[in-house]
Amino acid sequence: MLLIVALIVLLIVGPFIAIALNRRYGFAANALLVFLFGAALFPRTIATFVRSPESTPYDIAPASLGLQTQILVIVVAAIIVVVGQGRLKLPVPLIVFALLLTVAMFTTWQGTVPQWSGYVVLLSAVLAFGVGWAVGRQAFNQARFARFFLAAILVVLVLQLGVAVLQLAGVSLPTGLVNSERTLEQTVGRVSGTIGHPANLSKVAFALMLMSLPFTTAAQKQISRLAFACVAAAALVGGLTVSRANLIAMAILLAAWILTFPGRARVGTRIGGAVVLLGAAGVFGPLVLERFEDDSQGGLRPLLLTAALRQLNSDFLIGTGPNAYIAVVGKVDAATASGYPVHNAFLLMTAELGIFLASLFFLPLVVLIVWSIARFFRSSEYMHAPRAIVYAIPGMGIILLTGWGMISVLIVGLWMFTLGFIWSARAGVGLETVSSAERASNTSSKLGLATTR
Neighbours of 17 (CB within 10 A): 13
Q: Is the per-residue pLDDT at 279 higher than 80?
A: no
pTM for the model stands at: 0.90
pLDDT band at 318 (very low <50, low <70, confident <90, very high): very high
Neighbours of 291 (CB within 10 A): 17
Average pLDDT estimate for 361-370: 98
Average pLDDT estimate for 283-293: 61
Q: Give start and end residues of each alpha helix (H) in 140-213.
A: 143-168, 175-178, 184-187, 198-212
Dihedral sign for Cα 218, 222, 226, 231, please.
Answer: positive
Q: What confidence score (pLDDT) does residue 176 get?
A: 76
Instruction: Tell me the average pLDDT of the chain.
Output: 87
CB contact at 8 A, 58 and 330? no
Percent of the residues in the chain that have a pLDDT greater than 90, as a whole number: 66
Q: What is the pLDDT of residues 191-214, one digit of tens each?
A: 889 998 899 999 999 999 999 999
Q: What is the dihedral of CA 126, 131, 136, 137, to 10 degrees?
A: 110
Q: What confidence score (pLDDT) does residue 102 get?
A: 97
Range with the lowest mean pLDDT among 10-14, 18-22, 100-104? 10-14
> For the chain, first and last CA: distance in Å?
75
Cα separations in angstroms, 202 against 163, 183, 196, 243, 447: 14, 17, 11, 7, 49
Q: Is the per-residue pLDDT at 183 higher than 50?
A: no
- Kindly report the backbone phi and psi dihedral angles of residue 301, in degrees, each rounded to the nearest multiple of 5, phi listed first: -55, -45
Q: Is the per-residue pLDDT at 430 higher than 80?
A: yes
The DSSP output letter for 40 is I
pLDDT band at 186 (very low <50, low <70, confident <90, very high): very low
